[in-house]
């Protein structure tokens, strides 16, 4: 009996081994001797693209088209959370995609992890991309991706409550305070702060008041050795911001958070919202009459500079099919049709000038977003930027809550330079 059991188990094992080997044999047969090519159902190359949920759906038809035109299989995978970290980790393990879609400020981290390859665009292709978008994806003199859409903050205004666009932040506060006094609104301004602050949304005001995060080198790149947080200029800037805080005019409040700033605006509780193109869908749904103008700066101050964010296609350095990925990113993403489709999936201004011109007639907001981006600067993509967000935001929250600006921002500067030099 026992011997028979052993026999049966052994036979089963052999059968399984045979099945395993057979599978293997088929595989190598299909891919021929081509190194690194993956075996699909057909003898073609495969391109794997990662994008977030929304864009994955919009990409699908174009990926299929690219697939049939070139006789390859294209797979789109939606990554809903922590796309950057997932991409870096998966690339390192060899299970990453060939192409990934993401924000341009990932570049520094992706490059230091060897996760993306530069792309070589021709001069014609380069001239078809908005200049500031192209600048944003340039890192250490190399172009690291193809931009397809831009986004930046602007002032969204309820034109029923405030018919006139404010020229300065003082104007805005005057109008806002009057609306609050007349019980037409509950808040002066909806600009998200929260208990831990929000450096991205504060930056227009901070820059207008004379502050900066990183200086620039001679070649125009951000210089991590020149940290602007904690300098006398940043203290002066935060003194101006403190005057807008809870102990000042109350235009900035920690109780206005990323979760309630847009809904407070669409609930008509404030006349002014500082936000980006992503807020417009909600504003339209609420049926509010709105206008989009640049974020105003302080009277007599520097221009208010919002950050420019650029959505980008990257070629993965550890992808299995890099030649095909390069082909898709450099020679296909640079055509306007795809950019238009992605615009339709989410209304952010296309970075390709041809696509922008194609849709601007149907969407009057686009030109306004572009006008609001006139003074915009690319969000720093150097890895050192990771050290800024948290301490800077917390300093903002503390100062808005009434803490001493000089002491707070100098402590934040110390924390930031500490973690940069570590």
Partner 1 sequence: MAARLVKITLLGLVVAIAIWAAFPLAENHAWIGLGILVATTAGLLYLYLTRRHIPAKYLAPGTLLLVAFQVFPVLYTASTAFTNYGDGHRGSEEEAVVAIQTASVTQVPGSVQYALSIATTGDPATGPLVFLITDPATKTTKAGDAKGLKKLDPADVTVGVTGKVTAADGYTVLTAGQASLRSKEITALAVPVDGGAIRSSGLSRAYEGKAGRLYDKGCDCIRDTTTGKVWKADRRTGSFVAADGERLAQGWKVGVGFANFTRVVTDPDISGPFLRTLVWNFVFAIGSTGGTFLLGMFVAVALHSQRVRGRNLYRVLLVLPYAMPAFAMLLVWRDMFNKDFGLINNFFGIGVDWLGQPMTARIAVLLVQLWLGYPYMFLVTTGALQAIPGELSEASRIDGAGPWQSFRRIVLPLLMVALTPLLISSFAFNFNNFNAIYLTTEGGPFQPDNPANGATDLLITYTYRLAFGGSGAQYGYAAAISIFIFLIVGTISAIAFRRTRAQEEVYA
Site for partner 1 in 218-257 (CB under 8 A): 253-257
What radius of gyration, in Å, describes the C-alpha atoms of the chain? 26
**Counting beta carbons within 10 angstroms of the beta carbon of residue 265, is it exposed (0 to 12), middle (13 to 18) or buried (19 or more)?**
buried
From CA 298, how far away is CA 236, in angstroms rounded? 13
Q: Is 99 helix (H, G, I), strand (E, B) or coil?
A: strand
Q: Which member of 223, 260, 293, 358 binds partner 1 (CB under 8 A)?
A: 260
Residue 72 CB, shortest distance to partner 1, in Å, is 5
Which position has the token pair 């967000």? 389
β 142-143/290-293 pair status: unpaired
**Does 217 participate in binding partner 1 (rule CB under 8 A)?**
no
Residue of the chain from 41, 81, 141, 362 that contacts partner 1 (CB under 8 A):
141
What is the rounded distance in angstroms from the CA atom of residue 31 to the CA atom of residue 82? 33
Contact between 118 and partner 1 (CB under 8 A)?
yes
70 binds partner 1 (CB under 8 A): yes
- Indicate whether 109 belongs to the interface with partner 1 (CB under 8 A): yes
Q: Could you give the C-alpha distances from 348 to 50, 340, 402, in angstroms and in order? A: 19, 10, 36
- DSSP reduced 3-state for 18: helix
Distance of alpha carbon 274 from alpha carbon 173, whole angstroms: 13
**DSSP letter (8 states) at residue 373:** T
Tell the smallest beta-carbon distance from residue 85 to partner 1 (Å). Answer: 7
Q: Which of 329, 372, 373, 377 binds partner 1 (CB under 8 A)?
A: 329
Binding part of the chain for partner 1, among 153-161, 170-178, 335-343, 412-420 by CB under 8 A, reads 412-420
Minimum Å distance from CB 312 to partner 1? 16
Binders of partner 1 in range 26-65 (CB under 8 A): 31-37, 43-47
DSSP string, 299-322: TTSPPP-PEEEEEEEEEETT-S-H
* Interface pick for partner 1 out of 72, 279, 280, 340 (rule CB under 8 A): 72
Tell me the site size for partner 1, rule CB under 8 A: 92
264 makes contact with partner 1 (CB under 8 A): yes
In order of 27, 321, 370, 396, the CA distances from 257 in angstroms are: 53, 43, 26, 13
DSSP H helices, 219-316, are 232-242, 261-266, 280-285
> Given the rule CB under 8 A, which of 115-123, 152-160, 204-212, 353-361 is the region that contacts partner 1?
115-123
The single residue among 87, 212, 328, 356 that binds partner 1, judged by CB under 8 A, is 328
Closest CA to 279 of 294, 293, 266: 266
- Residue with Cβ nearer partner 1 (44 or 152): 44
Where in 154-193 is the site for partner 1 (CB under 8 A)? Answer: 187
113 binds partner 1 (CB under 8 A): yes
By beta-carbon proximity to partner 1, the closer residue of 194 and 347 is 194
- Specify the residue, 71 or 163, whose C-beta has the smaller distance to partner 1: 71
Stretch that binds partner 1, among 150-158, 159-167, 169-177, 317-325 (CB under 8 A): 317-325
Q: Does 95 bind partner 1 (CB under 8 A)?
A: no
Q: Does 303 bind partner 1 (CB under 8 A)?
A: no
Residue with tokens 């994955």: 56
Shortest Å, Cβ 60 to partner 1:
19
Query: How would you classify residue 94: left for phi > 0, otherwise alpha for psi between -120 and 50, otherwise beta?
Result: left
**Using the 8-state DSSP alphabet, how is residue 190 labeled?**
B
Nearer to partner 1 (CB atom), residue 374 or residue 407: 407
* Contact characters 341-380, partner 1, x per CB under 8 A: ----------------------------------------
Find out whether 342 and 129 touch, Cβ atoms under 8 Å.
no
Binding to partner 1 by residue 142, rule CB under 8 A? yes
Q: In 118-162, where does DSSP find H-type helix?
A: 123-127, 131-136
Complex with partner 1: residue 72 or 154, whichever CB lies closer:
72
Question: Contacting partner 1 (CB under 8 A), which of 119, 137, 162, 189?
Answer: 119
Q: Specify the stretch interacting with partner 1 by CB under 8 A; choose among 12-20, 173-181, 199-207, 346-354.
A: 12-20
Q: Which of 56, 63, 106, 117: binder of partner 1 (CB under 8 A)?
A: 117
Q: How far is the CB of 361 from partner 1 (least distance, A)?
A: 30
Those residues whose C-beta lies under 8 Å from the C-beta of residue 68, and which sit 6 or more positions away, are none
**55 to each of 148, 154, 369, how far by Cα in Å?**
12, 23, 20
């Amino acid at each position: 009996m026992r011997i028979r059991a052993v026999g049966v188990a052994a036979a089963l094992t052999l059968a399984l081994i045979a099945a395993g080997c057979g599978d293997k044999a088929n595989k190598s047969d299909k891919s021929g001797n081509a190194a690194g090519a993956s075996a699909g159902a057909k003898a073609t190359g495969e391109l794997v693209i990662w994008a977030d949920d929304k864009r994955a759906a919009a990409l699908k038809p174009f990926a299929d088209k690219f697939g049939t035109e070139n006789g390859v299989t294209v797979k789109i995978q939606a990554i809903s959370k922590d796309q950057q970290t997932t991409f870096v980790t998966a690339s390192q393990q060899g299970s990453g995609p060939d192409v990934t879609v993401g924000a341009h400020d990932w570049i520094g981290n992706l490059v230091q992890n060897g996760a993306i390859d530069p792309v070589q665009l021709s001069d014609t292709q380069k001239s078809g991309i908005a200049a500031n978008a192209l600048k944003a994806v340039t890192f250490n003199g190399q172009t690291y991706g193809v931009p397809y859409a831009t986004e930046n903050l602007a002032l969204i205004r309820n034109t029923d409550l405030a018919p006139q666009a404010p020229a300065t932040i003082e104007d805005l506060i005057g109008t806002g305070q009057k609306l609050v006094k007349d019980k037409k609104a509950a808040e002066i301004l909806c600009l998200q702060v929260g208990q831990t602050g929000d450096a991205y949304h504060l930056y227009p005001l901070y820059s207008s008041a004379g502050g900066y995060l990183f200086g620039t080198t001679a070649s125009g790149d951000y210089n991590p050795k020149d940290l602007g947080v904690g300098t006398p200029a940043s203290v002066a800037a935060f003194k101006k911001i403190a005057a807008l805080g809870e102990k000042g005019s109350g235009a900035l409040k920690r109780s206005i958070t990323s979760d309630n700033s847009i809904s407070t605006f669409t609930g008509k509780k404030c006349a002014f919202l500082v936000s980006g193109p992503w807020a417009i869908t909600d504003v339209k749904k609420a049926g509010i009459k709105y206008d989009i103008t640049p974020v105003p700066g302080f009277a007599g101050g520097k221009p208010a500079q919002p950050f420019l964010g650029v959505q980008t296609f990257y070629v993965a350095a550890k992808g299995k099919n890099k030649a095909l990925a390069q082909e898709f990113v450099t020679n296909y993403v640079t055509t306007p049709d795809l950019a238009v489709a992605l615009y339709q999936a989410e209304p952010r201004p296309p970075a390709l000038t041809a696509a922008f011109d194609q849709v601007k007639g149907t969407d009057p907001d686009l030109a306004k977003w572009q006008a609001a981006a006139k003074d915009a600067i690319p969000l720093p993509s150097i890895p050192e930027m990771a050290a800024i967000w948290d301490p800077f935001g917390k300093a903002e929250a503390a100062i808005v809550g009434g803490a001493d600006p000089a002491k707070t921002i100098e402590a934040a500067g110390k924390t930031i330079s500490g973690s940069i030099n570590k």
